[in-house]
A and B are shown apart, each in its own frame.
Chain A
Amino acid sequence: MRTKLMNRRQLLRGLGGAIVAAPFLSSVAERYAKAQSATATDPRRLIVYFTHYGCLTDRWFPKLSHGQLSAADYTNNQTLSAMAPFASKLLMVRGIRAMNEWSFQGSLGQTTDPHTQVCGSYFTCQPVTPDDGKFTATAIDRSLDFVCAEQVNANGSAPLFMQIGGVSGNSSNTQAVISFSGPNTINPGYGSPQQIYSSLTNLFGKGPVTSDTYKVARGNSIIDIVRDDLANLKRTPMSSADQQKLDAWAQLLHQTTTAVSAQCSADTATKLGLTSQTVQGGGGFGADISKIAPIMMNLAVLTAICDANRVIFMKMPPNYVFSFLGLTNESHGLSHRINSANMGGPCLSGVMDMLHTIDLWYAQQFAYLVGQLDSFAEGSGTLLDNTATVWFNEMSDGDSHNLNNLPILQAGSCGGYFKTGWAVNVEGAKTDLSVGNSDGDCVNGSTLSNLDSAGTMPATLASMPINKYFCNLMNAIGVKADGTGFPKKGGTEPVSKYGMYDDSKLFKGGGTSPASITNPGEYAELRA
């Protein structure tokens, strides 16, 4: 009988039951501490905040679509008032369309599923396969987080993807999957604060570390022991897949000279409310995100302070019951106004207020993240100033599923790269771009028969490709392209192209149309 290979798993079980809280010890990897502000160039980062099912657009967008926005423009805005204190550091990006919109007819993309294809294509700008994989389709190439991390992280290490409320989505349910490490390969990211926290404690120092203690000396030797062990294993014949795993591990041991700020310490962590106690729990799907969200956000802040990752994506959960806001229905059914995933039907009583309650809470969380980032000095400004921190909504209006007139709010200029204190309408700088028509739904107690009309009509309006904005973001944090204009490790050119298509219509059929970027380059009008 022919036998088979037993898959050799990385076994996560340790030596028995449990451990107590991690004491804070000095740095062990091959890193050195530095005094703050010792570097010439501060890091540039991309932090993404992603929420599902769109929003009530006409309460979300400020009225002015192009021009300077003051605190009053946000205060007067119903949803984003929590953002008012940061008005001078905000960039309201208008006129953008995300790729691969769903419709019955497939007129603007695939007909796979209104969420599967949107999430899968959102940060990849690639179609999803299989075309009829309503719950299983995945993007055919990796997502923006991985494209960026490969170039801007030390050793090209993976981006940090935080799933607030636990890991949602897997190979049999891809409706909420936005991060892909490779073609059709889902990145589960991290659902538990503790996993992220424990990866950071390793970097803590207490200010500049002197190198004359045994604890510092042992760090290098332990890495040498691990390296020898890997080399020893590698001498035995094994599958090429296993060889590659060992090679990748060995590569991680070379992470030399990543400077660690003196602020990267247990003290800072404690100030952020992060201790080995507070990060426990909360990893399970369905966790109380009112408690988990600030912890995850502060972990993002600590990650930035420690410069442990320059690409941080975080996502709110799908299908969530916001019981802490007094709601009893899950968020997807609410976004359809009828408390179910169907399209059309009698509106749930009070649903518009419920949706607004959720939108407000999302905005408050984003404001919290922005405020935390802005409270730590870095170089001549703050962490926020050196970062592009962007709130992306999955779609525009949640009932229409429209992807034009996409609600996007950026905070921070990323080291002066972007214009801030402005709304910029990349579609011709018009100042009166529609704020959509979400409030047109449920006016007479039932949802619109033509769902499109709750969105922004016509579909050609506010429809500039999101690909170009991604080019801006990549260029701002130092991602390079090769001569083709597509991002490429080792390249020297600015990024001018991203994804497979920048025309949503071409997604129809799931990649059967030839690849085509018709409108290359970033949006110059978003630059400072």
Chain B
Amino acid sequence: MLAGNNNQPPSSMLAPDSDGALTDIGWNGYLSAAQSIAAEVMAGSNKSNFMSCDPSSDTSCLTNTVKSFGRKAFRRPLTDAEVTSFMRLNSLTPTGQPLEVAEAILYAFLASPSFILLPELAQDKDSNGNLKLNSYEVATRLSYLLWGTVPDATLNTAADAGQLTTAAQIATQAQRMLKSDKAKAVVTNFLHYYAGIDAGSHWVNNTTHDTTQYPTFTDASYAPAIAEMDAFFQDVVLGGGMFKDLFLGSNGFVTKDTAAVYGLDPSSYGTALTKVQLDGTRRPGFLTRIGFLSTFSKFDVTSPILRGAFISGRVLGVNPGTPDPAFTKTPIPPGNYTTMRQAIDALTANEPCHSCHGVNINPSGYVLEHYNSVGMWQDLDPWGGTIDGTADVRFSPTDTKTITDPLGMMTEIAGLPEAKHHYAEQWVAFATGRVPNPNDTCTVDQLTTSMAQTSYPLVSVFADYTQADSFRLRTVSN
């Protein structure tokens, strides 16, 4: 909106998130970021997004800018006292040139607590004694949740009119917002949260593979493979897909650097992602794509453990826990293995490994042994043996099935109530910014029930969540 071209986001200048009070270092970071953004905006083409008048010739320009920009930055109209506070920048000694004053005003807004924080301080209560968010606060919640930025003009108009106090009014806005291109923000942000795509994860760290053994996967393949994940998620969620499509959808997104892994002709593709139809029996859903399969692998071999642990923890919601570091580097026992599966069986044959690995982790990883370290389909293990992708996968404590191929496993997951419940729970955790508490149970259950309907679009999870009481009400604790 204001700043921006090809450089880094402002947050890269700021201190990392942490609990507790703002620190000296953190505050100086805010001041530096605010100062540099203000200077950049005033020197560039984005200036018109900040001020629409010329302070050199229009004597009311600065005041009008404080009011109009302040409305956006604080997500509410400024009080007269606040306008006066900002306008003191126009009466300093020595006097500033009008454009200097405008820059200082922008700088001050960007450093203001009411801009940096999302205050929710309205004091009206409902009949149960819960504090009611006002329309400005609801607009802010909606906008930062679904778009990751400040409210637009339509939301501001609704907020000014006090028309964001009922569930129906909020639903109307949420549905409108989710049709906007800006809703890509919530899809990417939430699915990254759901899948754990963040710094320090395997998604980000396991980026290279043995090019001698896997010539189709080069240094240029990693970035488009990860980009495919984002494109796939957006295609499913914003394209009207359902929960099952996350695991069964066959649309793919390839470039010349990833096409060959899927058995496509790389010369038919360029450097931009191209949407293609993949083989639905071999490539159902995001867990059968290069981005996942290659990062949840090792440099030169597959890792049924990493893949299986992901499915257990991230998809089924059964946290396998952190392994004891004393065992994470345990070498595979000596033996003449012809498949990775045999080696992992030997590695985890004894306690304390077997009770968890044998039941919750390894089986789903074995089913995915049909994909090699970079994600290509394989029927023969590089060690010479035939791939055995049949395993007894435990989908829940009362549901263990013999699975013979990836499509069979994805079909089970796509219909699994536990997987839907976990997805809903993760969404509520993401939306509230905290671990779900018992009060969220009802919201999570409602969303899970909705997702069980055969034609319920996945995007509706986002909109329906805004109908929860907790989206409009809050309590204060000490």
Q: Is the CB of B24 within 8 A of A158?
A: yes
Taking the complex as formed, is A456 at the interface, i.e. its CB lies under 8 A from any CB of chain B? Answer: no
| A337–B31 CA distance with the chains assembled, in angstroms | 48
**B325 part of interface (Cβ distance < 8 Å):** yes
Q: How long is the Cα–Cα vector from A21 to B15 in the complex, in angstroms?
A: 17
Distance of A157 Cα from B86 Cα, bound (Å): 28
Task: Flag if A13 contacts B149 (CB, 8 Å).
Answer: yes
- Tell yes or no: B68 within 8 A of A by CB: no
Contact A28–B15 (Cβ < 8 Å):
no
Residue A7 at the chain B interface, CB threshold 8 Å:
yes
Residue from A191, A195, A284, A332 whose CB has the most chain B CB atoms within 10 Å? A195
Task: Across the interface, name the chain B residue whose C-beta is closest to A24.
Answer: B36
Which of B94, B123, B200, B437 interacts with A213 by CB under 8 Å?
B94
> Are A8 and B24 in contact, with the CB atoms below 8 A?
no
A187 CA / B20 CA spacing, docked (Å): 10
Residues of B within 8 A of A12 (CB): 10-11, 14, 17
Contact yes or no, B28 A214, CB < 8 A = no
**Complexed CA–CA distance, A80 and B468 (Å):** 63
Residues of A within 8 A of B88 (CB): 221, 224-225
Interface flag for A528 (CB, 8 Å): no
* Among B19, B114, B128, residue most surrounded by chain A Cβ atoms (within 10 Å): B19
Q: Which of A19, A172, A188, A228 contacts B4 (CB 8 A)?
A: A19
Q: Mark B193-227, 1 if CB is under 8 A from A, else 0.
A: 00000011000110000000000000000000000
In the bound complex, what is the Cα–Cα distance between A195 and B386 (angstroms)?
Answer: 51
Q: Tell me the bound Cα distance from A167 to B4 in angstroms.
A: 27
Contact present for B31 and A14 (CB under 8 Å): no
Q: Is A248 an interface residue (CB 8 A)?
A: yes
A25 within 8 A of B: yes
Among residues 339 to 353 in chain A, which have CB atoms less than 8 Å away from a CB atom of chain B?
A: 339-342
C-beta contact mask, B22-48 vs A, less than 8 Å → 1, else 0? 111111110111011101100000000
List A contacts of B35 (CB < 8 A). 22, 25, 28, 202
Cα distance, A181 to B93, chains bound together (Å): 42
Is A203 positioned at the interface, with any CB of B under 8 Å from its CB?
Answer: yes
A518 contacts chain B at the CB level, 8 A cutoff: no
Contact A3 B23 (CB under 8 A): no
Q: Contacts A195-B15, A195-B16 hold; do A8 and B118 have CB atoms under 8 A apart?
A: yes
- The yes or no answer to B445 lying at the interface (CB within 8 A) is no
With A198-B33, A248-B22, A252-B24 as given contacts, are A16 and B104 in contact (CB-CB < 8 Å)? no
Q: Which of B105-113, B166-174, B258-266, B371-379 contacts A (4 or more CB under 8 A)?
A: B105-113
Among B14, B28, B128, B432, contact of A202 (Cβ-Cβ < 8 Å): B28
User: A214 touching B95 by the CB < 8 A rule?
Assistant: yes
Cβ of B37 and Cβ of A7 under 8 Å apart? Answer: no
Q: How far is the CB of B105 from chain A (nearest CB, A)?
A: 9
The complex places the Cα of A14 from the Cα of B40 at a distance, in Å, of 14
Flag the segment in B302-310, B328-336, B399-407, B449-457 that touches A.
B328-336
Inter-chain contact A11/B116, CB cutoff 8 Å: yes
Produce 1/0 per residue, A119-144, CB < 8 A to B.
Answer: 00000000000000011000000000
Residue on A nearest B18 in the bound complex, by CB: A188
Q: Nearest chain B CB to A254's CB is how many angstroms away?
A: 11
Alpha-carbon distance A433/B210, docked complex (angstroms)? 48
- Are B104 and A6 neighbours in the complex by a CB distance under 8 Å? no
Beyond A12-B11, A22-B36, A233-B113, is A286–B120 a contact (Cβ under 8 Å)? no
| Contact yes or no, A160 B439, CB < 8 A | no
Q: For A228, what are the chain B residues with a Cβ–Cβ distance below 8 Å?
A: 82, 85
Mark out the residues of chain A between 135 and 157 whose CB falls within 8 Å of any chain B CB in the assembled complex.
135, 153-155, 157
Cβ contact within 8 Å between A19 and B3:
yes
Q: Is residue B164 contacting chain A, with contact meaning CB distance below 8 A?
A: no
Most chain B beta-carbon neighbours within 10 Å: one of A155, A218, A340: A218
Interface size class of B (residues with CB under 8 A): 35 or more
What separation, in Å, do the CA atoms of A488 and B108 have in the docked complex? 37
User: Known: A5-B476, A229-B113. Contact between A16 and B2, CB under 8 A?
Assistant: yes
Question: Assuming the A-B contacts A4-B437, A6-B120, A15-B3, are A194 and B13 also in contact, with contact meaning beta carbons closer than 8 angstroms in the complex?
Answer: yes
Interface residues on A, range: 35 or more
Contact B92 A217 (CB under 8 A): yes
Assuming the contacts A13-B149, A218-B92, asked whether A3 and B85 have C-beta atoms less than 8 A apart, the reply is no
Closest to B439 in A: A4
In the bound complex, how far is the Cα of B327 from the Cα of A29, in angstroms? 52
B330 with A340: CB separation less than 8 A: yes
Known A1-B439, A3-B474: A16·B149 in contact at CB below 8 Å: yes
Contacts of B14 in A (CB 8 A): 12, 195, 198
Taken together as a complex, chains A and B put the C-alpha atoms of A14 and B100 apart, in Å, by 21
Q: Are A4 and B29 in contact (CB under 8 A)?
A: no
Which residues does chain B contribute within 8 Å of A255, judged by CB atoms? Answer: 24
Which of these, A11, A135, A185, A199, contacts B32 with CB under 8 Å? Answer: A199
List residues of chain B with CB within 8 A of the CB of A134.
324
Q: Which of A273-296 contact B (CB under 8 A)?
A: 280, 283-286
Residues of B within 8 A of A229 (CB): 82, 85, 112-114
| Interchain CA distance A30-B68 in the complex, whole Å | 29
Q: How far is the CB of B478 from chain A (nearest CB, A)?
A: 5
Report yes or no: A239 in contact with B477, Cβ–Cβ below 8 A. yes
> 1/0 contact trace for B452-478 toward A, CB 8 Å?
000000000000000001100111111
Q: Which residue of B lies closest to A329 (CB)?
A: B329
Are B329 and A341 within 8 A (Cβ)?
yes
Cβ of B107: which chain A residues have Cβ within 8 Å of it? 218, 222
Asked whether, in the complex, the Cβ of B16 is within 8 Å of the Cβ of A167, the reply is yes
Which residue numbers of A lie inside 8 Å of B, CB to CB? Answer: 1-23, 25, 28-29, 134-135, 153-155, 157-158, 160, 166-167, 172-173, 175, 181-182, 185, 187-188, 190-192, 194-196, 198-203, 212-215, 217-218, 221-222, 224-226, 228-230, 232-233, 236-241, 244-246, 248-249, 252, 255, 280, 283-286, 308-309, 330, 332-333, 339-342
- Write the residues of chain B forming the contact surface with A, with a CB cutoff of 8 angstroms: 1-29, 31-33, 35-37, 39-40, 73, 81-82, 85-86, 88-89, 92-97, 100-101, 104, 107-108, 110-114, 116-121, 123, 128, 130, 141, 144, 148-150, 199-200, 204-205, 322, 324-331, 432-434, 437, 439-440, 442, 469-470, 473-478
5 residue pairs bridging A and B, Cβ less than 8 Å apart = A2-B475, A5-B477, A15-B10, A182-B20, A239-B477
Q: A14-B9, A173-B322, A188-B18 provided; 7 other pairs, C-beta below 8 A?
A: A19-B7, A166-B200, A229-B85, A229-B114, A285-B200, A286-B200, A308-B28
The 8 closest A-B CB pairs, nearest first, are A248-B21, A157-B24, A17-B4, A14-B10, A340-B329, A22-B36, A214-B96, A198-B13
